């Protein structure tokens, strides 16, 4: 049990005493390490250290107000395989921590309980893509496997991470080892790190998020653009493609800073001081109030939409309850379009439908981060022809029926499905010939997994609705990124991006046409290779994130700086 003692003593000393008292009562036999952030806390060590049968101490000669420093030292020095964390104001529930310890299994990186106030859309286990958007692992209601601390890179010691070191660490850890959830209620905590009362700064002392003293003022307009991205929890893939791909390319270049806040967790003060608020796929009840807050603070608003919700409710009964006139989600969405300073889209059909509702519409081409797909491991690929599908559910069944017919005849061919479930049309394929990979909410994990499987052919069936015509050609980009030859429905957006016979095959939505295209690629490896090479070259030249980046930055500057 690692207990950090620090912060503003006038506000946290009493809370620290209560935390230690509760720890002594709830877990009297705990192995404890007391961490004193400066001499103000040495007295507590003398008073409380002897009360624990097994107690270590780490003392710093002066306060740092960087809890990650002492926590990091203590994790590396820990004698037990699992560690827990406390700080002033944390309650302690011995029964809950014992439950977590019983659930701690080899292979898990971390075992965690419930959040005090979870986002409405949250389910478990927490996905890496969600951790890009929100701090979702309760530090005082978890156990960390000590050996995974170094494997995940430890805590970032930067003062910029004073309040977010744990969030940053759990995101990295989630990509290295499983996070295991156990339904354990959290003990109350007086402060999370976002609101913890650190020491007041002395006059002239730089704050954790400020430039070092002496760096001098920036010329007007030269400071980084401060961006706040507002999002729903389940929009992780969209945020990665349309925002994080670009943000990660400019990290450390002084062009912009960014943070993500979930709609149902955002407060007006989260928007204060930002230069641009981006509302990603706005359809949530909190959106109107947040638009009001932006208006009151003079913060420009950019709405991003990549799905044609205007057409969705008209064309598909399953969307009627969400996206038809009078439905709350639809009215919130339209209100956001009207009130935004600009609306960002990635498709000309969607641009046409959005334009009557928006003051200004900006359109960018789609992009793909090819580096994400190039980072796959070197696992050995099983021999044979591998064809399949990767993505969200499709409502055009002809492609899957054609694939089933092809697999029924070519018994040496194998099926790849990377989705929420195997489509009904393909469930008769013998299990030993099926590679099924559950859908990944983390885009980086999705890209690595798909690239590592190295499919020969990927299918992209799509219906001929206006809703579907408004999408980006993501299946074309993904197939090209992993070196697969693609077969696509002869409908927009694929007809606007795929050159038939050169960068892919375009087919009618007829199962015989899909089967014929599969046979053609199966029988002609040279054609497969030429299509894959042509597509990879074209995507790298036109759609690689680096190619689209200048236009993306211009959009942010134009809206954020009022141009």
- What is the three-state SS of 497-559? HCCECCCEEEECCCHHHHHHHHHHHHHCHHHHHHHHHHHHHHHHHHCEHHHHHHHHHHHHHHH
Q: CA distances (Å), 449 to each of 381, 386, 418, 446, 506, in order?
A: 12, 14, 9, 5, 26
What is the radius of gyration, based on Cα positions, of the chain? 27
Query: What stretch(es) of the chain map to CATH 3.40.50.2000?
Result: 225-367+547-560, 370-543
Rounded CA-CA distance 545/244 in Å is: 10
Number of neighbouring beta carbons within 10 Å of residue 270:
17
> Do residues 341 and 559 make contact, with C-beta atoms less than 8 angstroms apart?
yes
pLDDT at site 221: 52
* pTM passes above 0.95: no
The CATH code that applies to domain 225-367+547-560 is: 3.40.50.2000
The residue among 145, 148, 141 whose CA lies nearest residue 112 is: 141
Query: What stretch(es) of the chain map to CATH 3.90.550.10?
Result: 2-194
Rounded CA-CA distance 27/99 in Å is: 13
Number of neighbouring beta carbons within 10 Å of residue 317:
7
pLDDT at site 213: 29
Q: Which residues does the chain have with pLDDT short of 70?
A: 202-222, 375-380, 563
pLDDT at site 216: 34
Helix (H, G, I), strand (E, B) or coil at 91: coil
pLDDT at site 217: 34
CATH for 2-194 (1.10.10.10, 3.90.550.10, 1.10.3720.10, 3.30.70.20)? 3.90.550.10
> Do residues 389 and 416 make contact, with C-beta atoms less than 8 angstroms apart?
yes
pLDDT at site 215: 32
Q: CA distances (Å), 470 to each of 11, 307, 346, 463, in order?
A: 55, 7, 8, 11
Rounded CA-CA distance 453/465 in Å is: 31
pLDDT at site 428: 96
Helices (H), 309-421: 309-315, 328-339, 348-354, 370-374, 398-409
Rounded CA-CA distance 29/51 in Å is: 10
Angle, alpha carbons 273-276-280 (nearest 5°): 125
The CATH code that applies to domain 370-543 is: 3.40.50.2000
Rounded CA-CA distance 141/420 in Å is: 30
Phi, psi of 267 (to 5 degrees): -115, 160
Task: Quote the distance between the C-alpha of residue 373 and its chain's center.
Answer: 16
pLDDT at site 208: 43
The residue among 218, 304, 223 whose CA lies nearest residue 260 is: 304
Number of neighbouring beta carbons within 10 Å of residue 413:
21
């Amino acid at each position: 049990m690692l207990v950090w003692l620090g912060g503003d003593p006038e506000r946290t000393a009493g809370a620290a005493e209560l935390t230690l008292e509760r720890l002594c009562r709830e877990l009297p036999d705990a192995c404890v390490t007391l961490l004193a952030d400066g001499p103000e806390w040495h007295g507590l060590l003398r008073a409380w250290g002897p009360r624990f049968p097994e107690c270590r101490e780490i003392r710093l000669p002066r306060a740092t107000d960087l809890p990650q420093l002492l926590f990091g030292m203590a994790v590396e020095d820990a004698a037990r395989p699992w560690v827990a964390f406390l700080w002033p104001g944390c309650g302690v529930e011995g029964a809950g921590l014992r439950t977590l310890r019983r659930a701690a299994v080899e292979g898990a990186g971390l075992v965690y309980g419930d959040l005090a106030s979870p986002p409405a859309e949250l389910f478990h286990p927490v996905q890496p893509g969600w951790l890009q958007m929100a701090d979702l692992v309760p530090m005082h209601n978890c156990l960390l496997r000590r050996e995974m601390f170094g494997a995940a890179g430890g805590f970032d010691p930067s003062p910029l991470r004073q309040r977010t070191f744990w969030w940053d660490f759990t995101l990295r850890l989630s990509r290295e080892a499983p996070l295991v959830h156990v339904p354990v209620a959290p003990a109350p905590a007086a402060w999370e790190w976002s609101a913890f009362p650190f020491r007041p700064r002395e006059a002239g002392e730089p704050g954790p998020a400020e430039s070092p003293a002496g760096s001098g003022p920036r010329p007007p307009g030269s400071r980084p653009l401060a961006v706040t991205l507002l999002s729903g929890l389940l929009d992780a893939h969209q945020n990665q493609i349309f925002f994080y791909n670009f943000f990660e390319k400019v990290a450390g270049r002084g062009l912009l800073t960014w943070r993500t806040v979930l709609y149902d967790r955002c407060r007006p003060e989260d928007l204060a001081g930002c230069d641009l608020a981006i509302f990603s796929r706005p359809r949530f009840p909190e959106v109107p109030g947040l638009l009001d807050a932006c208006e009151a603070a003079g913060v420009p608003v950019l709405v991003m939409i990549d799905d044609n919700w205007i057409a969705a409710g008209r064309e598909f009964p399953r969307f009627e309850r969400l996206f038809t006139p009078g439905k709350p989600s639809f009215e919130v969405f339209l209100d956001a379009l009207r009130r935004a300073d600009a609306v960002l889209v990635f498709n000309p059909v969607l641009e046409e439908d959005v334009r009557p509702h928006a003051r200004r519409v900006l359109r960018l081409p789609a992009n793909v981060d090819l580096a994400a797909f190039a980072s796959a491991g070197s696992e050995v690929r099983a021999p044979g022809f591998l064809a399949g599908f990767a993505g969200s559910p499709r409502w055009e069944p002809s492609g899957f029926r054609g694939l089933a017919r092809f697999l029924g005849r070519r018994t040496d061919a194998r099926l790849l499905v990377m989705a929420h479930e195997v489509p009904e049309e393909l469930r008769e394929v013998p299990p030993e010939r099926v590679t099924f990979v559950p859908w990944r909410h983390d885009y980086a994990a999705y890209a690595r997994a798909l690239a590592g499987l190295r499919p020969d052919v990927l299918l992209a069936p799509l219906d001929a609705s206006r809703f579907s015509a408004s999408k980006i050609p993501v299946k074309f980009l993904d197939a090209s990124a992993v070196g697969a030859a693609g077969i696509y429905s002869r409908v927009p957006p694929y007809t606007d991006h795929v050159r038939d016979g050169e960068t892919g095959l375009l087919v009618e939505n007829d199962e015989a046409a899909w089967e014929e295209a599969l046979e053609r690629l199966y029988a002609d490896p040279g054609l497969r290779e030429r299509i894959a090479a042509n597509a990879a070259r074209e995507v790298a030249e036109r759609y690689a994130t680096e190619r689209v980046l200048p236009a993306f930055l211009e959009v942010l500057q134009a809206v954020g700086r009022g141009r």
